[in-house]
């Protein structure tokens, strides 16, 4: 049987952060090493935001250099800790200066459509009419292409107060669902931001978050402030074969 097309999803490396003793760049490099040692090489890599802690050029460059060691195409999007302009510069992304970073890329068996859910200077997320209008038009261009939508803030309610306080606005989640509902080819929405695995649905399509490569959050449904968990970092692996998509989560190998 043919091997599937593999889209690896790394998330929330937070290069430049000092939340814990571990160095986020070393942690990210360890995740990349885990990807490199997979039995099947990935075909493309996505990093679903919070690449950096402060949005600095040097932080972006460190992420880019680490990703480049994998020698496969990589695609990034901004999180609330990133700054659009340096990310756009480092990764040569389309658009101007600090406008939202949104683009679609044909990976072959899967089309990746990238959304920018950030609000500059804030931790919560938003999708305004312009960004959703762009998405509607982008999806209308390729109605037959199996599509994964990637974003930083998940289009899901976590039921964890500390996480829902910095979530994508609920009205915007619903507006996104209205757009997605018009496009049958969207099979998955993938995100990061919550630093743990969470699954749900939007407009009947599965939505999934993957772990951070840096540090995880506690699963505590009464948590008012984010508390960190000593749990393993990991990454997502989205496998496509014959138009079927399955999503896997793999812990980073211990070194």
Of the two residues 139 and 189, which places its CB atom closer to Fe ion in the complex? 189
Q: How far is the CB of 50 from Fe ion (least distance, A)?
A: 3
Q: How far is the CB of 146 from Fe ion (least distance, A)?
A: 27
Give the residue nearest to Fe ion (CB).
50
Helix, strand, coil percent content, the chain, rounded in steps of 5? 25, 25, 50
Of the two residues 24 and 79, which places its CB atom closer to Fe ion in the complex? 79
Which residues of this protein are in contact with Fe ion, per CB under 5 A? 12, 50, 79-80, 193
Number of alpha carbons in the 13 Å side-chain half-sphere of residue 77:
28
Q: How far is the CB of 31 from Fe ion (least distance, A)?
A: 14
Of the two residues 45 and 151, which places its CB atom closer to Fe ion in the complex? 151
Of the two residues 72 and 169, which places its CB atom closer to Fe ion in the complex? 169
Q: Positive or negative CA dihedral for 187, 28, 252, 4?
A: positive
User: Buried b / exposed e across 86-122, counting CB within 10 Å, b at 16+?
Assistant: bbbebbebeeeeeebbbbbeebebbbbbbbbbbbeee
Of the two residues 81 and 183, which places its CB atom closer to Fe ion in the complex? 81
Q: How far is the CB of 13 from Fe ion (least distance, A)?
A: 9
Give the span between the Cα atoms of 175 and 139, in whole angstroms: 15
Give the span between the Cα atoms of 200 and 172, in whole angstroms: 16
Give the span between the Cα atoms of 241 and 4, in whole angstroms: 5
Q: How far is the CB of 213 from Fe ion (least distance, A)?
A: 10
Give the span between the Cα atoms of 67 and 85, in whole angstroms: 19
């Amino acid at each position: 049987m043919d091997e599937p097309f593999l889209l690896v999803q790394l998330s929330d490396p937070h290069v430049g952060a000092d939340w814990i003793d571990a160095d986020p760049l070393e942690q990210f490099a360890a995740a990349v090493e885990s990807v490199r040692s997979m039995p099947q090489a990935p075909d493309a890599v996505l990093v679903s935001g919070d690449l950096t802690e402060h949005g600095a050029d040097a932080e972006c460059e460190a992420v880019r250099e680490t990703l480049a060691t994998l020698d496969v195409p990589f695609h990034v999007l901004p999180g609330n800790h990133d700054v659009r302009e340096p990310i756009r510069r480092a990764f040569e992304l389309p658009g101007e200066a600090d406008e939202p970073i949104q683009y679609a890329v044909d990976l072959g068996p899967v089309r990746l459509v990238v959304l920018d859910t950030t609000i500059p200077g804030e931790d919560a997320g938003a999708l305004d009419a312009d960004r959703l209008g762009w998405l509607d038009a982008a999806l209308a261009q390729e109605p037959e292409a199996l599509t994964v939508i990637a974003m930083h803030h998940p289009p899901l309610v976590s039921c964890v107060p500390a996480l829902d306080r910095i979530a994508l606005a609920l009205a915007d989640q619903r507006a996104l669902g209205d757009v997605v509902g018009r496009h049958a080819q969207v099979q998955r929405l993938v995100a990061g931001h919550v630093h743990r695995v969470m699954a749900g649905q939007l407009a009947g399509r599965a939505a999934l978050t993957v772990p951070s490569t840096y540090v995880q959050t506690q699963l505590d449904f009464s948590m008012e402030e984010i508390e960190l968990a000593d749990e393993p970092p990991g990454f997502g692996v989205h496998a496509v074969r014959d138009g079927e998509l399955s999503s896997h989560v793999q812990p980073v190998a211990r070194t």
